[in-house]
Amino acid sequence: MVTGAGGALGSELVARLTPPDAPSAGWASGGVVAVTRAELDVTDPVAVRDAVHGGLGSGDGPAVLLNASAFTAVDRAETDPEAAADAWAVNAEAPGLLAAACAEVGATMVHVSTDYVLGPLPGGARRPLEPDDPVGPEGVYARSKLAGEERVRAALPGAHQIVRTAWVYGPTGANFVRTIARLARERDTLTVVDDQHGSPTWAGDLADGLLALARSAAPPGTRHAAGGGATTWCGLARAVLEEMGADPSRVRPCDTASFPRPAPRPAWSVLSDASWRAAGLAPLPPWRDALHAAVVRHPDLLPD
């Protein structure tokens, strides 16, 4: 079962699981159920329990539930009380509801979390972050995602897989890659933050990794999975211009203080893949290779 099937990650999971002749939404075929937020309100306890218990329409629950539902409007969650409530409902309460329902039917839950839950390393150290590094969420979004992790662990202590990822972009909806490409066609120069470091992650690669994890015999736990290597937002923007055949020097660096946003962003969110490899799973491809492959497969990432 896939929840959040209409989002950037969910749509990539669905693309890998959908039979060619399946309906476009709400389908149940080939042993898989995929539901969008419109089809299943993951914040409704009764709806969640009914959906998970209904399983494949036969009255049996799923063996694995992949939860790709998330509220990701991080800035709006800081400035709009209604959005903050939605963030808490979707990111904190809903995972707990889904996990409780999975416990009732004996299902494993693969839950996607974020680098935002992690705090800075002691002494300002900079190395790839491990799952057992200190948490230190700042802002509504980050706190809600950490609460979601905690509720999944509590409800499914022996049958959960929590996967933290970072800087995800996909083939659907608004994302950093598409935004930079659009702005590059509208402006001579762009100014982009160059002091936040992370691991850009193509949603298709993450989907492949999550499915490999779901099919593995890995013990329950928390793991990190993101694109290999690291860059800054400025570095990613310059790579986008390279893919467009444009001059990357048109992207000019700035610091975070020069581009204030309502929600705090981690200055360092480079994720280690050691926990992923220790589970016998193949690391996600290097972020730069993944960007090129994504653009080749989805040219609409670089809109005209």
Indicate which residues carry an active-site annotation.
141
With beta carbons less than 8 A apart as the criterion, state whether 13 and 210 touch.
yes
With beta carbons less than 8 A apart as the criterion, state whether 163 and 224 touch.
yes
Which residues are within 8 A (CB) of 54 and not within 5 positions of it... i.e. 6 or more apart?
Answer: 61
Sheet strands (E) in the chain:
2-3, 28-29, 32-35, 64-67, 108-114, 160-165, 168-169, 190-193, 197-198, 201-202, 221-224, 231-232, 251-254, 268-269
Angle of helix 94-105 relative to helix 140-155, nearest 10 degrees, comes to 10
The neighbouring-strand residues paired with 33 are 28
